[in-house]
């Protein structure tokens, strides 16, 4: 199980793609500079011990894509809702704070879920522990939406530790 | 023309954010407003870069977005601990 | 070609309007936690619409790659900083104004 080597390699490939995309100059001198900086970053990452068991981000699969599609639709709907509440005169909001029980197994899917809650305007995850997420929501409807567990069921879960 | 309108709208948003940063009753309101102003500034730089066709400036917008994020997290750490050198109490584990 | 221009203008104008709406929102909402949601608008849909519109304007070039990078960066960092703010305020003892009447 030599994951450090494998993951250093994939990190290097991603950094190379990033560098080529950012620089746009392909002379020999610039390519050498890029290679040197990538090697330096790999060395520093190795020293900092940040290349760990977590797979490097390039694991895009079908459930994740489906989750992103669902998430972007939710973000648009929630944005329209919050804008409507801003321009409704009078008292248009009913803030709620509640504990949302969560049963996701791995830390990573838990973090993805909490970040997705925060990304949709109208709900913000305030605190996070193993059993529950404390959520502040702008309205009762958003609270009921979250409690129905539709979003939680779509979070991709098959991130196993190698 | 269209970019002038967009840039003006961003400037109005920045103004509103600055007003909130000045008025904000709690320190968290001020940090929130500064965070928003930072995001808008990064967008403004991107718009100006596209208008003036100087694509180097988009790098500046990218850096601004990064530094904005790191700055907000650093300021939050500072106000919750009072300094930068302690590791902080592990308040989440209780 | 002109169609792409018009669509990108629509995106940019919609993003600008959403930004101003968020700016009004942080003055309209009563307490810190509800202002977080108003800032959420300007961080998510407003920034996305702006950047997509700008990518349409620049077309296929290095600039659009960089704009996409800004988009990815904001997409990942803005919920993190929102959560950090809410978490710090909550642990710092700031109480939200809640709506308790019916229900």
Do A21 and A68 fall into the same domain? no
- Chains A–B, number of C-beta pairs less than 8 Å apart: 4
Sort out which chain A residues have CB atoms less than 8 A from B59's CB and list them: 22
Q: Which helix (H) or strand (E) holds A134?
A: strand A132-137
Query: Is A79 part of any domain?
Result: yes
Computed over every residue of chain A, the mean pLDDT equals: 80
Q: How many residues does chain A have?
A: 162
Do A42 and A75 fall into the same domain? no
B44 pLDDT more than 90: yes
Question: What are the boundaries of each domain within chain B?
Answer: 28-82
Query: Is A54 part of any domain?
Result: no
Query: What pLDDT is stored for residue A55 in this prediction?
Result: 52
Query: Is A162 part of any domain?
Result: no
Q: Domains in chain A: how many in total? A: 2
Burial (0-12, 13-18, 19+ Cβ within 10 Å), B55: middle
Do A39 and A82 fall into the same domain? no
Q: Which helix (H) or strand (E) holds C85?
A: helix C62-91
Taking the CA of residue B16 and the nearest CA in chain A, the distance in Å comes to 15
Name B50's Cβ contacts closer than 8 Å, sequence gap at least 6. Answer: B3, B58, C54, C57, C58, C63
Query: Is A56 part of any domain?
Result: no
Taking only the tens place, the pLDDT of each residue in C9-64 is 999 999 999 999 989 988 888 888 888 888 888 888 888 999 999 998 888 888 88
Least confident piece of the model among A91-95, B42-46, B87-91, C89-93: B87-91
Query: In this complex, which chains have at least 3 CB pairs below 8 Å with chain A?
Result: B, C
Sort out which chain C residues have CB atoms less than 8 A from A24's CB and list them: 62
Do A72 and A141 fall into the same domain? yes
Do A43 and A66 fall into the same domain? no
Q: Which residue of A has its CA nearest to B92?
A: A129
A52 pLDDT more than 80: no
Query: Is A91 part of any domain?
Result: yes
Residues A49-67 have a mean pLDDT of 67
Question: Does residue B46 or residue A156 have the better pLDDT?
Answer: B46
Sort out which chain A residues have CB atoms less than 8 A from B92's CB and list them: 127-129
Do A37 and A86 fall into the same domain? no
* Domain interval for residue A24: 3-48
Enumerate the β-bridge partners of residue A128.
Answer: A133
Taking only the tens place, the pLDDT of each residue in A14-25 is 888 888 888 877
Taking only the tens place, the pLDDT of each residue in B59-94 is 899 899 999 999 999 888 888 877 777 765 555 544
Query: Is A138 part of any domain?
Result: yes
């Amino acid at each position: 199980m030599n994951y450090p080597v494998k993951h250093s390699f994939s990190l290097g490939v991603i950094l190379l793609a990033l560098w080529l995309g950012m620089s746009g100059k392909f002379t020999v001198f610039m390519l050498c500079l890029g290679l040197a900086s990538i090697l330096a970053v790999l060395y520093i990452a190795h020293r900092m011990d940040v290349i760990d068991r977590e797979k490097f981000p390039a694991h895009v699969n079908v459930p994740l894509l489906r989750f992103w599609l669902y998430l972007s639709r939710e973000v648009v709907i929630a944005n329209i809702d919050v804008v409507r509440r801003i321009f409704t005169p009078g008292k248009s909001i009913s803030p709620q704070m509640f504990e949302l029980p969560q049963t996701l197994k791995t830390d990573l899917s838990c973090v993805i879920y909490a970040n997705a809650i925060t990304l949709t305007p109208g709900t913000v995850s305030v605190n996070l522990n193993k059993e529950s997420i404390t959520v502040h929501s702008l309205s009762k409807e958003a609270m009921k939406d979250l409690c129905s567990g539709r979003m939680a069921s779509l979070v991709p879960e098959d991130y196993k530790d190698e | 023309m269209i970019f002038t309108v967009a840039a003006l709208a961003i400037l109005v948003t920045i103004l509103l954010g600055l007003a909130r940063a000045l008025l904000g009753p709690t320190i968290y309101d001020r940090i929130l407003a500064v965070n928003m102003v930072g995001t808008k500034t990064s967008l403004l730089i991107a718009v100006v870069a596209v208008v003036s066709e100087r694509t180097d400036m988009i790098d500046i917008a990218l850096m601004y977005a990064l530094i904005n994020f790191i700055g907000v997290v650093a300021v939050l750490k500072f106000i919750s601990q009072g300094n930068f050198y302690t590791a902080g109490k592990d308040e989440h584990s209780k | 070609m002109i169609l792409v221009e018009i669509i990108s203008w629509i995106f940019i104008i919609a993003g600008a309007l959403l930004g101003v709406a968020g700016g009004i929102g942080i003055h309209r909402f009563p307490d810190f936690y509800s202002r977080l949601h108003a800032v959420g608008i300007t961080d998510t849909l407003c920034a996305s619409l702006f950047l997509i519109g700008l990518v349409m304007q620049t077309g296929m070039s290095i600039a659009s790659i960089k704009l996409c990078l800004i988009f990815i960066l904001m997409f990942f960092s803005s919920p993190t900083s929102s959560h950090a703010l809410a978490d710090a305020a909550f642990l710092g003892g700031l109480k939200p104004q809640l709506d308790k009447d019916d229900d």
